[in-house]
Structure 1
Amino acid sequence: MTPGALRAHQVSVVVSGKALVRAVSLDVAAGEVVGLVGPNGAGKSTLLRTFYRALRPTSGHVLLDGDDVWRMPGKRLARRLAAVLQETAGDFALTVYDMVAMGRTPHKRAFDGDDAGDRAIIMGALERLGLAGLAYAPFDRLSGGEKQRVLIARALAQRCGTMVLDEPTNHLDLRHQLDALDLVRELGVTAVVALHDLNLAAAFCDRLCVLNDGAVVALGTPRDVVTPALLAEVYRVQADVTTNPETRTPQVTLRARWTERGVVA
């Protein structure tokens, strides 16, 4: 897996006359992990969809190692870039093994079965995510957290050097949140990760790109970006930002709001 350099250049997305993403430019160096953060509706998922060709930009370009992803054959892109989405339809009779095996599809010809190498990669991905014991369980009967881990395992089996992840910690408990983000770092891939949890984003990402109303309002290291002033401006909350004594990264603590009836979270 060779990490790629991912670039969004002046990307805008307009749907039904509404601008969801506004002239976003973002350069992600090979091997860098960049977090996309911002309030609900900021444009994080929309921007990510342009990276893996689920949504064509109205204007601008998305480039992987200088190649426009929209001009690349789909199979070629799938060998270089993997996507982990927030959800996937589960009303079909596929096992966990089948779901993860889909990650091998870009590397095979049509109608090819799994060879010994494929099976080793698939089972290795399942073991890495603690799913080996569920390999032949029906995917649609899993919990939300288990399904999310299966989707991460599928991306791992895809063996790409670049990944985009849309809320990969969604539905996961605390341990598996940390495991998932640790895995992204350990792989050494280029990654763009949309996250809601600012403390997780600050602890695991090299840089943060803050979106609000579809536009980039801040871009830099977690220490530069996560400030009380930005939290007040973008999230409309009062918060203290301290330094985590173990990770030395910013840590956000929301201030309680007092009313005559008590504390309002």
Structure 2
Amino acid sequence: MTGGAEGLRAEHVTVAVNGRPLVRDVSLDVAPGEVVGLVGPNGAGKSTLLRTFYRALRPTSGRVLLGGDDVWRMPGKRLARRLAAVLQDTGGEFELSVYDVVAMGRTPHKRAFQGDDDTDRGIISAALAELEAAHLADAPFDRLSGGEKQRVLIARALAQRTGTLVLDEPTNHLDLRHQIDALRLVGRLGVTAVIALHDLNLAAAHCDRICVLDGGRLVAAGAPGEVLTPELLAEVYRVDAEVGEHPRTGLTQITVLPDRSSAKPGGGPVDRR
């Protein structure tokens, strides 16, 4: 990435839609080059908060700062040179080739109607190669599988060459290997990144710090091993879980225990036919 990593900060961000608060007074700091995982149950406010970072949704109150600059006070093109986003929606209606979709990442760095030069073409090709999607370059984007589309959209964000990435469930639709490869790539880039994830083990393995949202509020933040405790998982996710260190990697590992009420007496499986 050519853009330097910058700090990203939410200051007392509240978002209400039709009078209903979706995010409530959230403050968090992401240091330059830090990878932060944003986790929480469905409806916790993760996507809503991320939308305020890339200016898809204006906070009802509070502000978002990138490198000390209010994102809502800077020109959109300037923000796009400094921050790239990968959204949950795969945008399946694009009537473009894969190459053209990834080339859209170069738009913030150009004048109106300026074509691709050799530098742009090199960046686009490198981004596709990073996501193992070079062979898809000429394919129609709207005919790809969900996983292929997701890899192409991550490649588009890489082609944008910013120092900050905001990723909303980037592992959606990806198989296990590509999930791991995508998150390893983010860590390898040296950028500032905020990643909304549902898989807590992936978050623990690939994020420097974890921030937990519940009911629109930030309820915990810190290193994975400090935050992802059995007590927090019971309170926020309503599950019984064991948390420990993986014997080979030393990483925090979460094992959700089965709900005993879902089993027959004697331990037999429940017939759900």
TM-score, reference length from structure 1: 0.98
Q: Which residue is 1:69 aligned to? A: 71
Partner of 1:122, secondary structure, is helix
Mapped partners of 1:149, 1:126: distance in 2: 8
Deviation (angstroms), 1:88? 3.3
- 5 Å-filtered alignment, 1:1-265, equals 1-259=3-261, 261=264, 262=268
Summarize the Cα distance change of 1:23–1:263 in structure 2 as closer, same or farther, 3 Å threshold.
farther
Q: Which residue identity lines up with residue 141 of structure 2 in the other structure?
A: F
- Structure 2 alignment gaps of length 5 or more: none
Mapped partners of 2:229, 2:149: distance in 1: 34
Mapped partners of 1:114, 1:246: distance in 2: 47
Partner of 1:39, secondary structure, is coil
- Structure 1 alignment gaps of length 5 or more: none
Mapped partners of 1:157, 1:26: distance in 2: 27
Identity between Structure 1 and Structure 2 (%) = 73
Q: Deviations over 1:28-86 (max 9, x none)?
A: 00000000000000000000000000000000000001100000000000000000001
Partner of 2:260, secondary structure, is strand
Deviation (angstroms), 1:91? 2.1
Partner of 1:88, secondary structure, is coil
Q: Which residue identity lines up with residue 35 of structure 1 in the other structure?
A: G
Q: Which moved more, 1:221-230 or 1:245-254?
A: 245-254
TM-score, reference length from structure 2: 0.95
Deviation (angstroms), 1:256? 1.0
RMSD of aligned alpha carbons: 1.0
Q: Which residue identity lines up with residue 109 of structure 2 in the other structure?
A: H
Partner of 1:114, secondary structure, is coil
Mapped partners of 1:174, 1:185: distance in 2: 17
Q: Which residue identity lines up with residue 218 of structure 1 in the other structure?
A: A
Deviation (angstroms), 1:263? 5.2
Mapped partners of 2:101, 2:115: distance in 1: 14
Q: Which residue identity lines up with residue 213 of structure 1 in the other structure?
A: G
Q: Which residue identity lines up with residue 86 of structure 2 in the other structure?
A: V
Deviation (angstroms), 1:253? 0.5
Residues 90 and 146 of structure 2 are in contact (CA less than 8 Å); yes or no, is this contact kept in structure 1? Answer: no
- Equivalenced residue count is 264
Q: Which moved more, 1:88-97 or 1:115-124?
A: 88-97
Residues 203 and 247 of structure 1 are in contact (CA less than 8 Å); yes or no, is this contact kept in structure 2? Answer: no
Summarize the Cα distance change of 1:263–1:46 in structure 2 as closer, same or farther, 3 Å threshold.
farther
Deviation (angstroms), 1:92? 3.4
Mapped partners of 1:122, 1:107: distance in 2: 13
Q: Which residue identity lines up with residue 4 of structure 1 in the other structure?
A: E
Mapped partners of 1:178, 1:240: distance in 2: 23
Mapped partners of 2:194, 2:49: distance in 1: 10
Mapped partners of 1:134, 1:172: distance in 2: 16
Deviation (angstroms), 1:90? 1.9
